Amino acid sequence: MMAEITRDELEAVLSTLASKGVPVRSYKPDFLRRRTLLRMAATKSKNAIEYIALLKRSPTEVRAFYDNISINVSEFFRDPPVWEGVAKAVRERVQEKLSSCLSPSLRIWSAGCSCGEEPYTIAIAVTEALRGTGISPSVASIYATDIDKDALSKAAKGVYTKEALKNVPEKLRGRYFEEADVDGERRYSVLGDIRGMVRFRQHNLVSDPPMLFFDMVFCRNLLIYFSQEIQRSVISKFSAALHKGGFLVLGMNEMIMFEDTGFEAYDPRNRIYRKALF
């Protein structure tokens, strides 16, 4: 039977974690409670007092908790219909720039990029969207950030299992991935042209200032774990990061619920928003 935990006990756990440098205060209490109970069960801690003692003496468990709240679960082309909307937004943004006699270059930020599936998907989606237009996909620079160094290290390698590619159409799999056996298991490596479009760096979305001058920002399936106060702060950062007319793409279970954000619904079904032009 899984141990229980009171509000005061949870607060004591979170205070201990915060003292060890784990950024827990931005997450929703219910999410943190579930994660704490999972770690208590995994470590066979009988109660919160025993678990707090473990945290105080074990840097390994502190790291395990941190990994447990870093949501490093993703896949290529997650929610396939979204990427049709993204392709439309990409073409529209490029055309607007050309019509204004500007370079068609695109700066794109993938925030909370986990192990790299999303930014590489963006690179493929941009390449496909520009296919046949005469515009090289190299106009796109994708900056992929996450708080987790280990996830970023894995992302930079660009090697994935077949399960991660389950939503990738066969023609795209053949076009953008190299298949090989690694230690007796089938693996798929992202090809060099796509990898070259993506740059990875560590960034704390909550505490670090936003990067700037972007045409598109992707932050999918991360805001749902944040408190409303942090959600509002992060959306404000995205507004600051985007040029006027730039696009913000959220997860399918996320919406902009706050007034005066400066965003308008562009493709509400696919959770694509646009920063107001004026």
Q: Which fold has domain 80-157+191-275?
A: Rossmann fold (3.40.50)
Residues 126, 106: Cα–Cα separation, whole Å? 10
Element (H, E) at 264: strand 263-267
Per-residue confidence of the chain (278 residues) as pLDDT tens digits? 556 899 999 999 999 998 988 878 888 889 899 999 999 999 999 999 999 999 999 988 988 888 787 766 679 999 999 999 999 999 999 999 999 999 999 999 999 999 999 999 999 999 999 999 999 999 999 999 998 888 999 999 999 999 999 999 999 999 999 998 877 789 999 999 999 999 999 999 999 999 999 999 999 999 988 988 999 999 999 999 999 999 999 999 898 877 788 899 999 999 999 998 87
State residue 257's pLDDT score.
76
For residues 20 and 65, what is the distance between their CA atoms, to the nearest angstrom?
Answer: 11
CB burial of residue 167 (10 Å; 0-12, 13-18, 19+): middle
Q: How many CA atoms lie within 13 A of 90 on its CB side?
A: 29
> Residue 49: what pLDDT?
93
**Residue (of 154, 155, 166) closest to 123 by Cα position:** 155
Separation between Cα atoms, residue 198 and residue 209, nearest integer Å: 21
Write down the pLDDT at residue 51: 94
Residue corresponding to tokens 């089938």: 186
Q: Indicate the pTM of the whole model.
A: 0.86
| Helix H or strand E segment including 109 | strand 106-111
Q: What is the pLDDT of residue 2?
A: 54
179 contacts: CB under 8 Å, gap ≥ 6: 186, 187, 188
DSSP code of residue 27? B
Give the residue carrying structure tokens 């959770």.
271
Task: Enumerate the domain spans of the chain.
Answer: 7-69, 80-157+191-275
Give φ, ψ of 262 to 5 degrees. Answer: 85, 5
Compute the distance between CA of residue 231 and CA of residue 219 in angstroms, rounded to an integer: 11
